[in-house]
Copies of this chain bind each other. A is one copy, B any other.
Amino acid sequence: MLAKAVLSPIVVRALAEDLEGGDLTTEATVDPGAVAVAYAVARSEVVVCGGDVFRAVFAEVDPMLETTSGAAEGLRVPGGTVLWSVRGSARGILMGERTALNFVQRLTGIATLARAYVDAVPKGFPARITDTRKTTPGLRALERYAVRTGGAHNHRDTLGSAVLIKDNHIALSGGITDAVRRARERAPHTSRIEVEVESLAQLDEALAAAADIVMLDNFSPDDLDEAVRRAKGRALVEVSGGITLERIPVLARAGIDVISVGALTHSANAADIGLDIQSARGQLA
């Protein structure tokens, strides 16, 4: 559930990009009293995501438009499924069409990709797939929601939510031990401390500093196995960087706890969803 206070401003800005100058075509060709109904239809198999946004877009074009949902968020549905529909002023529907599709194609695309990654984890292994902060500027709240809807997990929300000591922090401070200590002293007690490590030596230093999570960067398969062995029971083990769908089973079987995948949000393809519009009976007042 996305709070209206979070969702509406994003939707309003997106509509303004398209409609500040009106809709020349629709105003010229479609009668103001005309009524229509439109169905958002998946053109191929997808994991459904974006019903709240679909509704919000049309409500911010014209509050009299009525939307309904045809498929639950997070459900995997075959091509041809009606995901949502909208009924009312034909003009209003046409004016919101592109913006609504831009949102739901992106969100459903992310949810569908997230599900593929989740499904690639072999049964019985605990690895969770997470997003990263590599989200589209301005859409983080929505894209993280899509990741959750797809069955994957979110990584930390913002730079203020949890500590992740990366190579640059280590280079610019006094090393891992010192950085972990200072982070623990300063950060909220509700936040875990994660450290990115590039070698087994760094891993040992992070574990000795009692990091809660270690992120393995570019470890060879052998080193990765060794790292998992050393960290087991002492810290969660995350891998990140260069993750592809094909690598998931191997990483999961290696005992990795968390696999963070930037591609979930920065490189998901838009889902193929179309809006089929039909004239409907009735006439607006």
List residues of A whose CB falls within 8 A of some B CB. 1-6, 8-32, 34, 36, 59-63, 89-92, 94-99, 101-103, 105-106, 128, 130, 133-141, 144-145, 148, 153-166, 168-169, 171-173, 178-179, 182-183, 185-192, 194, 213, 236, 238, 257-258, 262-263, 266-267, 269-270, 275, 277-279
Contacts and interface: CB of A to CB of B under 8 A. Distances in A.
A210 to B, nearest CB: 14
Nearest to A97: B168
Contacts of A26: 159, 169
A141 B5 contact: no
A185 B28 contact: yes
> Counting chain B CB atoms within 10 Å of each CB, which of A138, A145, A263 scores highest?
A138
A27 to B, nearest CB: 7
Contacts of A31: 173
A189 B102 CA distance: 23
A39 B141 CA distance: 29
A24 to B, nearest CB: 5
Given A21-B160, A25-B163, A92-B1, A14 B137 contact: yes
8 contacts: A18-B158, A20-B160, A101-B134, A153-B188, A155-B190, A156-B190, A162-B162, A189-B236
Contacts of A266: 102, 105-106, 269-270
B161 A95 contact: no
Contacts of A277: 168, 171-172
A1 B94 contact: no
Contact of A10 (B138, B141, B188, B270): B138
Contacts of A182: 28-29
Given A159-B19, A161-B158, A169-B30, A137 B62 contact: no
A183 B22 CA distance: 14
B24 A183 contact: yes
A14 to B, nearest CB: 3
A159 B95 contact: yes
A26 to B, nearest CB: 7
Given A61-B3, A98-B134, A183-B24, A191 B169 contact: no
Q: Which 8 A-B pairs have the closest CB atoms?
A: A21-B160, A14-B137, A21-B157, A162-B190, A5-B15, A28-B186, A23-B159, A161-B161
